[in-house]
Amino acid sequence: MQFIGSLIYTVFLFAWTFFYSIFFVIACSLLPFRKRFILARVWGLVLLWALKWTCRLDYRIEGQENLPPGNHIALWKHSSSWETIAMAVVFPRQVWVLKRELLWIPVVGWGIRQLHAIAIDRKSGHSAVGQVVEQGKQRLDEGDWIMIFPEGTRMPHGQTRKYGVSGTLLALERDKLIVPVAHNAGSYWPRRGLMKKPGTVRVVIGQPIAPAGRDVREINREVQAWIESTVARLTA
């Protein structure tokens, strides 16, 4: 039954995203940007609701009191597709840093463009970092949160890699806080494969980190240590 539920959900995920994107693109032509994100949140809420009823996979948010007022930079653990959906539900109005190939998807990519996403070429190294920082400044000035996966790609459950510095540099440039986010979604919705396990994804929002006057590498080590140790605790 779990396999059947996972299959049904996967079909619904692609169908809902495609057809909703058609509506989204049309609606965005009539809406100012600050109201477009409401539609993105509806997309995420429907998918999380469907996940609960088809795969018995729910979620719980811990540490919401750690969300500071204003708009800042959130650095998320990336181990699943789940968090790419949940971000729109968990955090206030936001823009995403994502790989540029997503913009090439028919219809869906058009919808992503309407949300002012920061699309980067992950192979371009320092150029990609500069793009995140420069475009990120504009988005922050517009009042948006910036959502970043510092690992750059989905990591297998229990693994990590060196965190990228773009989010930390952006926080330093604009004197913004860094909010680390850990979760155990990779335990239930693996990086690859169709099956989703039943259970409850726990999302933990960490205490904000003020980067002012600190070394970028030192900050990144602190962020990574907290996220990875929290993930390990959640999956123990």
Distance of CA 178 to the CA centre of its chain: 14
Residue 67 is predicted with a pLDDT of 96
pLDDT digits (tens, 9 = 90+) for 20-76: 999 999 998 888 888 899 999 999 999 999 999 999 999 999 999 999 999 999 999
Q: Is the pLDDT of residue 125 over 70?
A: no
Q: Is the pLDDT confidence value at 126 over 90?
A: no
Specify whether the CB–CB gap between 224 and 163 falls below 8 A.
yes
Q: What percent of the chain has pLDDT over 70?
A: 99
Is the model's pLDDT at 236 over the cut of 80? no
CA dist., res. 131 & res. 170, Å (int) = 10
Strand, coil or helix: what is 141?
A: helix
Does this model's pTM top 0.75? My answer is: yes
User: Model confidence over 158-217: pLDDT tens digits?
Assistant: 899 999 999 999 999 999 999 999 999 999 999 888 899 999 999 999 999 999 889 999
| Strand residue runs (E) in the chain | 57-62, 73-76, 94-99, 118-120, 145-148, 178-183, 199-205
- As a whole number, mean pLDDT of residues 117-138 equals 85
Computed over every residue of the chain, the mean pLDDT equals: 93
Stretch 66-87: mean pLDDT: 96
CA distance 165 to 159: 19
Q: What is the pLDDT of residue 157?
A: 84
